[in-house]
Each structure stands twice: as C-alpha cells, then as structure tokens.
Amino acid sequence: MKLVLFDLDNTLLAGDSDYEWGQFLIARGVVDRHHYEAKNRAFYEDYKAGRLDIYAFLAFALRPLATHPRAELEAWRAEYVETRIKPMITQAARDLVKRHMDEADLVAVITATNSFVTAPIAREFGIPNLIATEPEEIDGRFTGEVAGTPCFREGKITRLEAFLEARGSRIDCLENSRFYSDSHNDLPLLQQVQHPVAVDPDPTLRAHAEAHGWPIISLRGG
C-alpha cells in the first residue's frame, strides 16, 4: 500500500492553523487580547524551539472550546477558514495533494493541531483522512481536555499506528510511505517512513535533511 502523509502547519499551509485560530479568537473578542496573545505567542515560540509542553499548551488551547456553544464555535470556525486559512493555501500545495490523491492508496493529514480546527482544512484540500489531536467531548460539548494521546512528536507514530490498525492495515506499510513536514518536531515519524520530505523546513530539520540526503522542497511559490 502506498501511504502519503502530510503535516499541516507550515507544510501544506503557509502558516500555523493553531496559532492563527488563537489570533482569530483574539480579533473576534472571544478571549482577552493581552493575556491570550502573550500565551499564544509564547507557546508558539516553544514549539518552534522544540521545548513545547504539549499538555500545558492543550490545556490553554482547548479551553475556549469548552466555554462556548458548539453552534457558535462552528460559525466562528467557518469564518476563520475563509479569512485566515484559505489565504495560506498555495497553488503548489493544492497541486501536490492532488497528485498524491491520484496515485496513492491512502492519503492523510497528520497534525498536532486539534481536529475541531483542522477537519475543515483537510476537507478544503480534498484529503479524506485526518489524524489529529482529539479534544474530549461529552454529550456533544467539549470539555477542554484532550482525548487520548496528543498527535505530537512520538505521539504521531502512536496515533498513526492506531489509525492503520483501525483500517485493518499494518504498520509495515511505512516501508512504502512518504511524509511531508516542515518541523524538527516531526523527526520521530520522518525517520520511520521510507520517503521523508522536508518542506520549507526549519533550520534543525533542514540540517538533518541535508545530512541524510532527504529531498527539500518549497510550497510557498504560488
């Protein structure tokens, strides 16, 4: 089976959907600008530096989901996708996804950003499978907690294994697999696939890719 995996933030998107969701909530007046913006920026810097405490971040990022009705959240999300996400999608990214959708057996987005935020983004690309951090829900309402293993660093491997098992597939399909990512945080999974590809990589991933002869591409050209 030919498996193709795409990271989302700063890979398929020319920006970070999690960070932009926070900025959208600030602009919408949903959260306090001074406090939330400072925390949002600090967590983003920690992520880029490879020192993010994922559980502390999720406690922060998932809280707004628990404090507003689902219908209101979905209306905000639709506006966010139109105003914040679509401008971050390049034609090069759309073309790459289409090529793999035409030739691969299984294509999926695999992202640390929660599924509430990312599900419509995966659909915008026409990608039917999403492996993401899952916000906990009880009786149709978000609790502000994370359900299961966050889809981050080694957690991406754990979540991918569970995804493949649920489909009746085997993890050894990674022998014929490709993963596109921009981030050194994804090195655990990049090192597991047969064809790792660095996309507009951060400095750490670029150095690793160059040292190991991995392809390096850019999707920011149009």
Question: Which are the catalytic amino acids?
Answer: 7, 9
Torsion of CA 99, 102, 105, 109, to 10 degrees: 50
Q: Across the beta sheet with 141-147, what order do the strands follow?
A: 141-147, 129-138, 106-114, 3-6, 177-181, 195-199, 216-217
Beta-strand (E) ranges in 115-173?
A: 129-138, 141-147
Rounded Cα gap, residues 171 and 164, in angstroms: 7
Neighbours of 203 (CB within 10 A): 9
Helices (H) and strands (E) in the chain, counts: 10, 7
Amino acid at 57: F
